[in-house]
Amino acid sequence: MRLLLEQQSGTWEVAGEAADLFELAACLKNACPDVLLLDWELPGLSADRWNPDPDRPARMLVRLRSACPGMRIVALSSQPEECALARQSGADEIVCKTEMPETLLEKMKPVAHSAALPDQ
């Protein structure tokens, strides 16, 4: 993903990368991006055997937005049912990992544009 975004001739700047929810929280303390490209399978984000709460993803998105109020979230997932959950949980856009890279870039453009606009 980093390489794809960096190849867009100055359109995107990658502010950080995280391997799990804890690293993501640390990244957001250092800088609030306009757009967060969030892997829906990121460890710690969704319900699992350690955190079986099905509302966990929605609560985590609320927390991420409170850390960076103007940030927009684009969720990535390889599972269609997870894409639906991401939308229900409040992601601004959903991209299936099976889609072409150009689709990701096209779906990110309006989200990034809306992040640049002041909230009304």
Q: Which domains does the chain have, with CATH numbers?
A: 2-7+16-115 (3.40.50.2300)
Residues with Cβ < 8 Å from 120, sequence gap 6 or more?
Answer: none
Asked whether the predicted pLDDT for residue 18 surpasses 90, the reply is: yes
Q: How far apart are CA 85 and CA 79, in angstroms?
A: 10
Residues with Cβ < 8 Å from 89, sequence gap 6 or more?
Answer: 57, 58, 60, 61
pLDDT at residue 116, rounded to an integer: 64
At 32-89, the pLDDT tens digits run 999 999 998 888 887 667 766 777 888 889 999 999 999 999 999 988 888 888 888 8
